[in-house]
Amino acid sequence: MSLKNLLDTSTDSSLSGQKWHILRQSIVKHLLSSGNATIAELSAELQSSVPTVTKAVNELLSEAYVVDMGKITNSSGRRPSLYSINPTSAYFLGVNVNRSSMSIGLQNIKNEFVSIELDSSFKLENTPESLQELCNLINSFIEDTSVEKKMIVGVCINLSGRINSMEGFSYNYFFTENRPLAEIISEQLGLPVHLENDTRAMTFGEYREGVVDGEQNIIFLNYSWGVAIGMITDGKLYYGKSGYAGEFGHSTIFNNEIMCQCGKLGCLETEISGWALIDQFKSAIKDGKQSKVTLDEKGVDTQHNAIINGAVNLEDTLCIDLITKQSEQMGRYLSIILNIFNPDLLVIGGDFAQLGDYALLPIQAALKKYSLGLVNRDMKLKKSVLGRRAGVIGACCVIKEKMLSPLMNV
């Protein structure tokens, strides 16, 4: 049975029916947070008698929400059974949409992927056809997995740009004035759909399943084709009033005449981003600089990855020089964020994170130079560990958190 049924309020309106439903929810909640427990542990934790907890656990076992993991030996020499949440009781689908590809993955309730496809071909365009294609790809992915659709509790779709997650609107891609985009996609998929900004989902993925190790105040830098930051304050994602927080890349920093993707002049992205790196590389070649890298003119959205690859795998001097210069500048402007935010941890993620020390060392040196010593000393700097899977893992974590919140708030 899908865990969906347990998330809803009880259909039994009597006081005893309500109490029983809450006890069942509390057992599942405890097993989700602790991993596993014995009847005695559940009884102590939930302050409910052993016979009552035993009855509830047996019911949850018969409905396949819970599984018996076998007997353990405890200090008194008894061998009680250990219970855990059934990994197949609920699934969560995460979709990360890029400009020329999409990644999709289905996780069970224990955060294990049962199926994942990274960087499948998909052209993100602001057209109804592109939206239909996205829905078709998600539906065929679901059909190809061994999991029944009714077992999927929800879907999170990451898009770049301005997303109002609360209301389900996207403003940069597939803008729909009268009806939330989340609702339109939900109708196509026959599943609850949540929209999320891609950087914010990546941030949450690193927090739940990535490089974060207990830190509660985090800045995640998505340094890719575009640039944005995700923020976690006191363990919670920060959205801002309408969900547009983190648009670091569109801060007007440079006094140049370069038109940004957003239509303004001199944004940070115009000199520090994947798309700026492509322009800088092309301009250097035009000026007679030599490089081992040749850009594929068909893949405009991924050319920066060829330059990153040139630095990492070919040790190409031009690629390294351009990346070092950008990363130094990135460190300088990140120091503004750090001075204001004073985080425990700064995570460098996105395509540029593949550069390792080529990007991290210049960023670190610039942070030391430009941020306040006390702020910098308080903070750890780490590289994303989720890499290309950050978006899809983040999307799964976001939808799991959202859909299980009725349980976790019991």
Identify which range of 36-44, 195-203, 264-272, 361-369 contacts Zn ion by CB under 5 A. Answer: 264-272
Q: Which is nearer to Zn ion, 262 or 306 (CB)?
A: 262
Identify which range of 22-30, 61-69, 262-270, 316-324 contacts Zn ion by CB under 5 A. Answer: 262-270
183, two tokens: 């609702």
Q: Which is nearer to Zn ion, 206 or 247 (CB)?
A: 247
Residues 116 and 269: their CA atoms lie apart, in Å, by: 31
Residues 178 and 13: their CA atoms lie apart, in Å, by: 37
Q: Which is nearer to Zn ion, 57 or 260 (CB)?
A: 260
Q: How many CA atoms are closer than 13 Å to the CA of 238, on its beta-carbon side?
A: 17
Residues 138 and 143: their CA atoms lie apart, in Å, by: 9
Q: Which is nearer to Zn ion, 260 or 276 (CB)?
A: 260
Query: Residues touching Zn ion: how many (CB under 5 A)?
Result: 5
Q: How far is the CB of 160 from Zn ion (least distance, A)?
A: 12
Q: How far is the CB of 172 from Zn ion (least distance, A)?
A: 11
DSSP per position, 284-352:
HHHTT---S----TT-GGGHHHHHHHHHHHS--HHHHHHHHHHHHHHHHHHHHHHHHH--SEEEEESGG
Identify which range of 103-111, 222-230, 263-271, 318-326 contacts Zn ion by CB under 5 A. Answer: 263-271
Q: How far is the CB of 276 from Zn ion (least distance, A)?
A: 11
Q: How far is the CB of 267 from Zn ion (least distance, A)?
A: 3
Q: Which is nearer to Zn ion, 106 or 159 (CB)?
A: 159
Query: What DSSP character marks residue 84?
Result: E
Instruction: Provide the β-strand partners of residue 71.
Output: 81
SS3 405: helix
Residues 302 and 313: their CA atoms lie apart, in Å, by: 16
Quickly tell me which residue has 């014995």 as its tokens. Answer: 38
Identify which range of 72-80, 148-156, 167-175, 266-274 contacts Zn ion by CB under 5 A. Answer: 266-274
227-256 footprint of Zn ion as x/- string (CB under 5 A)? -----------------------x------
From candidates 6, 151, 267, 397, binder to Zn ion by CB under 5 A: 267
Q: How far is the CB of 337 from Zn ion (least distance, A)?
A: 16
Count CB-CB contacts under 10 A for residue 362.
Answer: 21
Q: Name all contacts of 132-139 with Cβ < 8 Å and 24+ positions apart.
A: 132/188, 134/95, 134/97, 134/102, 134/185, 135/185, 135/188, 135/189, 137/102, 137/104, 138/93, 138/95, 138/104, 138/189, 139/188, 139/189
Q: Which is nearer to Zn ion, 29 or 250 (CB)?
A: 250
Angle between helix axes 15-34 and 39-46 (nearest 10 degrees) is: 120
149-178 footprint of Zn ion as x/- string (CB under 5 A)? ------------------------------
Q: How far is the CB of 199 from Zn ion (least distance, A)?
A: 14
Q: Which is nearer to Zn ion, 179 or 264 (CB)?
A: 264
Query: What DSSP character marks residue 107?
Result: E
Q: How far is the CB of 226 from Zn ion (least distance, A)?
A: 9
Decide: is 262 part of the binding site for Zn ion (CB under 5 A). Answer: yes
- CB 219, CB 341: distance < 8 Å: yes
Q: How far is the CB of 391 from Zn ion (least distance, A)?
A: 21
Q: Which is nearer to Zn ion, 90 or 163 (CB)?
A: 163
- CB 53, CB 39: distance < 8 Å: yes
Q: How far is the CB of 266 from Zn ion (least distance, A)?
A: 8
From candidates 260, 307, 330, 337, binder to Zn ion by CB under 5 A: 260
Decide: is 114 part of the binding site for Zn ion (CB under 5 A). Answer: no
Decide: is 379 part of the binding site for Zn ion (CB under 5 A). Answer: no
Q: Which is nearer to Zn ion, 267 or 397 (CB)?
A: 267
Q: Which residues contact residue 4 at a Cβ distance below 8 angstroms, ignoring those fewer than 6 apart?
A: 90, 150, 153
Which residues of the shown chain bind Zn ion in the complex (CB under 5 A)?
A: 250, 260, 262, 264, 267
